[in-house]
Protein backbone atom coordinates (compact mmCIF):
# COMPACT_ATOMS: atom_id res chain seq x y z
CA UNK A 1 0.00 0.00 0.00
CA UNK A 2 2.86 2.37 0.85
CA UNK A 3 4.52 1.70 -2.50
CA UNK A 4 1.30 2.52 -4.39
CA UNK A 5 0.87 5.69 -2.39
CA UNK A 6 4.44 6.76 -3.19
CA UNK A 7 3.93 6.00 -6.89
CA UNK A 8 0.72 8.04 -6.98
CA UNK A 9 2.28 10.95 -5.12
CA UNK A 10 5.24 10.87 -7.53
CA UNK A 11 2.98 10.90 -10.57
CA UNK A 12 0.92 13.72 -9.08
CA UNK A 13 4.03 15.79 -8.45
CA UNK A 14 5.29 15.24 -11.99
CA UNK A 15 1.93 16.04 -13.53
CA UNK A 16 1.66 19.19 -11.44
CA UNK A 17 4.97 20.42 -12.83
CA UNK A 18 4.61 19.22 -16.43
CA UNK A 19 0.98 19.94 -17.33
CA UNK A 20 1.41 23.75 -17.28
CA UNK A 21 3.90 23.46 -20.14
CA UNK A 22 1.23 21.84 -22.29
CA UNK A 23 -1.28 24.53 -21.47
CA UNK A 24 0.86 27.52 -22.38
CA UNK A 25 -0.52 29.47 -25.32
CA UNK A 26 2.41 31.85 -25.75
CA UNK A 27 2.92 33.00 -29.34
CA UNK A 28 6.67 32.43 -28.99
CA UNK A 29 6.20 28.82 -27.97
CA UNK A 30 7.23 26.22 -30.51
CA UNK A 31 4.45 23.65 -31.01
CA UNK A 32 5.12 20.55 -28.91
CA UNK A 33 4.40 18.05 -31.65
CA UNK A 34 6.62 16.14 -33.98
CA UNK A 35 5.08 14.42 -36.96
CA UNK A 36 5.83 10.85 -37.90
CA UNK A 37 7.63 12.23 -40.96
CA UNK A 38 9.92 14.32 -38.74
CA UNK A 39 10.82 11.28 -36.63
CA UNK A 40 11.33 9.12 -39.71
CA UNK A 41 13.58 11.76 -41.28
CA UNK A 42 15.64 11.89 -38.08
CA UNK A 43 15.96 8.11 -37.90
CA UNK A 44 18.72 6.58 -40.02
CA UNK A 45 17.64 3.60 -42.11
CA UNK A 46 20.61 1.68 -40.74
CA UNK A 47 19.27 1.56 -37.16
CA UNK A 48 19.37 -1.95 -35.74
CA UNK A 49 16.16 -3.65 -34.65
CA UNK A 50 15.09 -2.63 -31.15
CA UNK A 51 16.44 0.92 -31.42
CA UNK A 52 14.47 4.15 -31.87
CA UNK A 53 15.67 7.74 -32.03
CA UNK A 54 13.65 10.79 -30.99
CA UNK A 55 14.54 14.37 -31.86
CA UNK A 56 13.94 17.14 -29.33
CA UNK A 57 11.45 19.82 -30.24
CA UNK A 58 12.21 23.55 -29.96
CA UNK A 59 11.69 23.44 -26.18
CA UNK A 60 13.94 20.43 -25.66
CA UNK A 61 11.11 17.91 -25.22
CA UNK A 62 11.46 14.47 -26.78
CA UNK A 63 8.21 13.78 -28.58
CA UNK A 64 7.51 10.87 -30.85
CA UNK A 65 4.85 8.89 -32.66
CA UNK A 66 4.23 5.88 -30.45
CA UNK A 67 1.73 3.06 -30.83
CA UNK A 68 -0.37 2.01 -27.86
CA UNK A 69 -2.37 -1.18 -28.26
CA UNK A 70 -1.59 -0.89 -31.98
CA UNK A 71 -2.99 2.65 -32.40
CA UNK A 72 -0.86 5.75 -33.14
CA UNK A 73 -0.40 8.20 -30.25
CA UNK A 74 1.93 11.19 -30.06
CA UNK A 75 3.70 11.11 -26.70
CA UNK A 76 6.15 13.23 -24.74
CA UNK A 77 8.93 11.31 -22.96
CA UNK A 78 8.88 12.31 -19.29
CA UNK A 79 11.52 10.65 -17.11
CA UNK A 80 9.95 12.31 -14.08
CA UNK A 81 6.60 10.56 -14.56
CA UNK A 82 6.30 7.23 -12.75
CA UNK A 83 3.72 5.90 -15.20
CA UNK A 84 2.57 6.47 -18.74
CA UNK A 85 -0.36 8.92 -18.55
CA UNK A 86 -3.15 9.25 -21.12
CA UNK A 87 -6.42 11.17 -21.14
CA UNK A 88 -9.97 9.84 -21.60
CA UNK A 89 -10.10 10.70 -25.30
CA UNK A 90 -6.91 8.76 -25.99
CA UNK A 91 -8.15 5.85 -23.87
CA UNK A 92 -11.37 5.65 -25.92
CA UNK A 93 -9.36 5.74 -29.15
CA UNK A 94 -7.34 2.79 -27.83
CA UNK A 95 -10.53 0.80 -27.27
CA UNK A 96 -10.62 1.23 -23.50
CA UNK A 97 -14.11 1.59 -22.04
CA UNK A 98 -14.17 4.67 -19.81
CA UNK A 99 -17.38 3.46 -18.15
CA UNK A 100 -15.52 0.44 -16.80
CA UNK A 101 -12.68 2.45 -15.25
CA UNK A 102 -12.37 3.19 -11.55
CA UNK A 103 -11.14 6.77 -11.16
CA UNK A 104 -10.12 6.26 -7.54
CA UNK A 105 -6.54 7.50 -7.39
CA UNK A 106 -6.30 11.17 -6.37
CA UNK A 107 -3.90 13.18 -8.53
CA UNK A 108 -2.97 16.85 -8.22
CA UNK A 109 -2.30 18.71 -11.46
CA UNK A 110 -1.80 22.32 -12.46
CA UNK A 111 -5.56 22.42 -13.11
CA UNK A 112 -6.30 21.21 -9.61
CA UNK A 113 -7.15 17.88 -8.11
CA UNK A 114 -8.55 15.07 -10.23
CA UNK A 115 -8.89 11.33 -10.00
CA UNK A 116 -7.08 8.83 -12.19
CA UNK A 117 -7.75 5.24 -13.15
CA UNK A 118 -4.98 2.65 -13.27
CA UNK A 119 -4.88 0.47 -16.39
CA UNK A 120 -2.46 -1.85 -18.16
CA UNK A 121 -1.78 -1.17 -21.83
CA UNK A 122 -1.29 -4.34 -23.88
CA UNK A 123 1.76 -2.83 -25.59
CA UNK A 124 3.58 0.43 -26.20
CA UNK A 125 5.81 0.74 -29.27
CA UNK A 126 7.95 3.23 -31.11
CA UNK A 127 9.59 1.99 -34.28
CA UNK A 128 10.98 -1.48 -33.53
CA UNK A 129 11.04 -0.87 -29.76
CA UNK A 130 8.16 -2.74 -28.12
CA UNK A 131 7.14 -3.23 -24.48
CA UNK A 132 4.15 -5.29 -23.41
CA UNK A 133 1.89 -4.91 -20.36
CA UNK A 134 2.70 -1.30 -19.47
CA UNK A 135 0.95 0.30 -16.47
CA UNK A 136 -0.65 3.66 -17.17
CA UNK A 137 -2.96 6.23 -15.63
CA UNK A 138 -6.05 7.53 -17.40
CA UNK A 139 -6.85 11.12 -16.42
CA UNK A 140 -9.85 13.25 -17.28
CA UNK A 141 -9.44 15.28 -20.48
CA UNK A 142 -9.52 18.56 -18.57
CA UNK A 143 -6.58 17.41 -16.42
CA UNK A 144 -4.26 16.14 -19.18
CA UNK A 145 -4.17 17.24 -22.80
CA UNK A 146 -1.13 15.28 -24.01
CA UNK A 147 0.22 11.78 -23.49
CA UNK A 148 3.19 11.34 -21.17
CA UNK A 149 5.57 8.43 -21.73
CA UNK A 150 6.75 7.73 -18.20
CA UNK A 151 8.98 5.30 -16.38
CA UNK A 152 6.53 2.38 -16.56
CA UNK A 153 7.64 2.21 -20.23
CA UNK A 154 11.20 3.55 -19.98
CA UNK A 155 12.38 1.29 -17.13
CA UNK A 156 11.46 -1.75 -19.23
CA UNK A 157 13.95 -0.76 -21.94
CA UNK A 158 17.53 -2.00 -21.96
CA UNK A 159 18.66 1.61 -22.15
CA UNK A 160 17.52 5.15 -22.86
CA UNK A 161 19.83 8.12 -23.16
CA UNK A 162 19.69 11.70 -24.35
CA UNK A 163 22.64 13.29 -26.08
CA UNK A 164 22.21 16.74 -27.52
CA UNK A 165 18.88 16.90 -29.31
CA UNK A 166 18.53 13.13 -29.76
CA UNK A 167 17.18 10.48 -27.39
CA UNK A 168 18.01 6.86 -28.07
CA UNK A 169 15.67 4.12 -26.85
CA UNK A 170 17.02 0.56 -26.90
CA UNK A 171 15.23 -2.72 -26.20
Dist CA 59 CA 24 (whole Å)? 12
Q: Which is the CATH superfamily of the domain at 63-170?
A: Acid Proteases (2.40.70.10)
CA quadruple 104, 111, 18, 39: dihedral sign: positive
Q: Kindly state the DSSP code that residue 111 receives in the 8-state scheme.
A: T
Phi, psi of 155 (to 5 degrees): -70, -15
pLDDT tens, residue by residue, 126-142: 999 999 999 999 999 98
pTM, rounded to two decimals? 0.73
Whether residue 34 has pLDDT greater than 70 = no
Listed in sequence order, the residues at least 6 apart from 19 whose beta carbon sits closer than 8 Å to its beta carbon are 109, 110, 111, 143, 144, 145
Whether residue 94 has pLDDT greater than 80 = yes
Q: Kindly state the DSSP code that residue 152 receives in the 8-state scheme.
A: H
Q: What residue ranges do the domains of the chain occupy?
A: 63-170
Confidence (pLDDT) at 81? 86
pLDDT tens, residue by residue, 96-131: 999 999 999 988 665 678 899 999 999 999 999 999
Strand partners, 25: none
Comparing 135 with 9, which gets the higher pLDDT? 135
Average pLDDT, the chain: 80
Amino acid sequence: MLVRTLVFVSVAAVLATQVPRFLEKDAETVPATVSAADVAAATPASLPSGVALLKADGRGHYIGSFKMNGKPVDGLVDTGASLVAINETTARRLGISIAGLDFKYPISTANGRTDAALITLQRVEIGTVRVEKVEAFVLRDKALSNTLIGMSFLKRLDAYAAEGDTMRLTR
